[in-house]
Amino acid sequence: MSNKKKKKLTPTQQQYQTLAKAREPRRPVLVNCLRAFLVGGVICLLGQFIQDFYLWNFDFTEKTASNPTVATLIFISVLLTSLGVYDHLAQWAGAGTSVPVTGFANSIASAALEHRSEGYVLGVGGNMFKLAGSVIVFGVVSAFVVALVKTLLTGVGS
């Protein structure tokens, strides 16, 4: 707690803050980082295996195998979310499960499952895309900025 906020507290409140801070359990940061790294790596490894499966069995190129790979990862993530497995994995692994495609699919599916009792349009559709809308907006804006910077940098050199 900052000194500015501490000055506004009574001595009893300051004592309580000190006691609460001393009793607060320490977070296992290193273990959490290792779990996140391992689970995120396993998800990416699974994605690589799926892509290799499409490359070997369906004669795709690396470029054409990427779309069905992403779709398969999304399907697996939504399936595991609906079965309640993904949430337990995310609880254990932390940030490792927020690998962009699977983490985003999990958050969308979770919102849809949570609000399905409110109906398909206002419940599932409305609440599911509250999260997706902000992600899409910032994705489009950042893509525009990156494209603009790239255009300016390549345009200056030619």
DSSP letters of 21-58?
HHHSPPP-HHHHHHHHHHHHHHHHHHHHHHHHHHHHHH
Q: Does pLDDT of 157 surpass 70?
A: no
- The rounded distance, in Å, linking the Cα atoms of 13 and 70 is 52
Q: Residues 6 or more apart from 47 whose CB is under 8 A from it? A: 69, 73, 101
Lowest mean pLDDT among 25-29, 30-34, 98-102, 139-143: 98-102
pLDDT band at 3 (very low <50, low <70, confident <90, very high): low
The pLDDT, as a whole number, for residue 41 is 94
- The rounded distance, in Å, linking the Cα atoms of 43 and 37 is 10
Label residue 105 exposed, middle or buried (CB < 10 Å: 0-12, 13-18, 19+). buried
pLDDT, one tens digit per residue, over 35-53 is: 999 999 999 999 999 999 9
The pLDDT, as a whole number, for residue 64 is 94
Amino acid at 79: L
Is the Cβ–Cβ distance between 77 and 86 less than 8 Å? yes
Q: Nearest-CA neighbor of 99 among 132, 77, 130?
A: 77
The pLDDT, as a whole number, for residue 95 is 87
**Mean per-residue pLDDT for 74-99?**
91
- The rounded distance, in Å, linking the Cα atoms of 101 and 27 is 28
Residue with tokens 């998800």: 43
Encoding tokens for residue 90?
A: 């995310």
The pLDDT, as a whole number, for residue 71 is 96
**Mean per-residue pLDDT for 106-127?**
76
Q: Does pLDDT of 104 surpass 80?
A: yes
The pLDDT, as a whole number, for residue 142 is 93
Q: Does pLDDT of 11 surpass 90?
A: no
Amino acid at 5: K
pLDDT, greater one: 73 or 2: 73
